[in-house]
């Protein structure tokens, strides 16, 4: 609880410092709004319209603005919703938000309830994919399918964390302080690890750094610490149709087996994007959009 309260304090202090001016923030290139949920205020983009729905959640340090190429490809066919999870971007975490599977799932359902969305596809990536799986467990009637990216089995994320997450970030309190002080540098280093050398990093870095510079948050330590405490068998039993898109050139997941997800979701289909790194939805938006539309048509 102390670590969660520390995250909340640091992020709210920064937000108050930067959000005094009226109007959109300099980093806001898509129209968004703040919706109130039981897990706190969450920043949301919603294309609106009475169409089938897909919901995205950026994988920090990515934020909503990273989806500015993918959203137009899909919004002519779908209602596209994209929001920052609590503790990332401009969704500030409450003092009791610990990034547990249940809290993350309730944050997702809170956004769906606020926007009046009865059924949707959840297109989440990396650790956020575990929240999507939990939503599909507790509210299966509301999720038509899951399209995950870089989400292996929860058990596989523990060795991943030891390989890829600096030790200070894995220590409560120290991790929150270290992560806050070094958030800009951690974001910069992460893109170097997550993206293949053939993919320009600058566009990703610029959007992330703009968010951080304008009061955005990146509570990586709390996510790593709390998901590592979850029972690895918690997510078994998901029956929702599930597709995993796997970027084969993701250096961070070089030693991760994408098929491990089938230990939890035996029916999950694995689709490899051989030329992509950690963000196949953003690195190849046209190809990803086509896959998503085909998935939606198949599971409608």
The first and second tokens of residue 17, run together, are: 């410092």
Does residue 128 carry a pLDDT above 90?
A: yes
How much is the average pLDDT of 186-210? 96
Q: How confident is the model at residue 49 (pLDDT cuts 50, 70, 90)?
A: confident
Distances (CA, A) of 126 to 22, 99, 112, 233, 286: 34, 14, 21, 18, 20
Domain around 155? 2-299
How much is the average pLDDT of 32-53? 93
Ramachandran bin of 123, using left for φ above 0, alpha for ψ from -120 to 50, beta for the remaining angles: beta
- The number of distinct structural domains making up the chain is 1
Percentage with pLDDT > 90 across the chain: 87
Per-residue pLDDT of 258-279, as tens digits, reads 999 999 999 999 999 999 999 9
Under a CB-based contact definition with an 8 Å cutoff, are residues 179 and 60 in contact? no
* pTM, entire model: 0.95
For residue 96, the model assigns a pLDDT of: 94
Q: How confident is the model at residue 24 (pLDDT cuts 50, 70, 90)?
A: low
Q: How confident is the model at residue 132 (pLDDT cuts 50, 70, 90)?
A: very high
Under a CB-based contact definition with an 8 Å cutoff, are residues 247 and 149 in contact? yes
Mean pLDDT of the chain: 94
For residue 19, the model assigns a pLDDT of: 65
For residue 227, what are the contacts with CB-CB under 8 A and spacing of at least 6?
A: 99, 101, 127, 130, 154, 157
193 CA to centre of own chain: 17
Which residues face 270 on adjacent strands? Answer: 244
Give the CATH number of the domain where residue 261 resides. Answer: 3.40.50.1820
Q: How confident is the model at residue 22 (pLDDT cuts 50, 70, 90)?
A: very low
């Amino acid at each position: 609880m102390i670590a969660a309260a520390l995250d909340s304090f640091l992020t709210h202090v920064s937000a108050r410092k930067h959000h005094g001016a009226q109007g959109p923030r300099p980093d806001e290139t898509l129209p968004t709004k703040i919706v109130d949920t039981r897990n706190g205020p969450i920043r949301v983009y919603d294309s609106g319209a009475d169409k089938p729905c897909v919901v995205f959640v950026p994988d920090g340090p990515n934020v909503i603005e990273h989806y500015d190429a993918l959203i137009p490809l899909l919004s002519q066919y779908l209602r596209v919703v994209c929001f920052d999870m609590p503790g990332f971007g401009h969704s500030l975490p409450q003092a009791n938000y610990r990034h547990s599977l249940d809290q993350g799932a309730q944050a997702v359902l809170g956004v769906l309830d606020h926007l009046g969305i009865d059924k949707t596809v959840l297109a989440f990536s990396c650790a956020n994919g575990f929240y999507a799986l939990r939503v599909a467990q507790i509210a299966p009637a509301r999720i038509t399918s899951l399209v995950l990216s870089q989400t292996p089995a929860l058990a596989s994320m523990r060795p991943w964390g030891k390989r890829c997450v600096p030790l200070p970030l894995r220590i409560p309190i120290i991790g929150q302080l270290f992560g806050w002080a070094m958030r800009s540098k951690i974001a910069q280093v992460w893109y170097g690890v997550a993206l293949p050398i053939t993919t320009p990093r600058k566009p990703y870095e610029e959007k992330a750094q703009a968010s951080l510079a304008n009061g955005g948050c990146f509570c990586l330590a709390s996510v790593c610490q709390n998901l590592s405490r979850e029972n690895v068998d918690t997510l078994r039993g998901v029956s929702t149709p599930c597709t995993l898109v796997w970027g084969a050139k993701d250096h961070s997941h070089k030693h991760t087996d994408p098929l491990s997800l089938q230990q939890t979701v035996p029916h999950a289909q694995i689709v490899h994007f051989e030329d992509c790194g950690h963000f196949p939805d953003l690195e190849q938006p046209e190809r990803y959009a086509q896959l998503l539309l085909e998935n939606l048509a198949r599971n409608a």
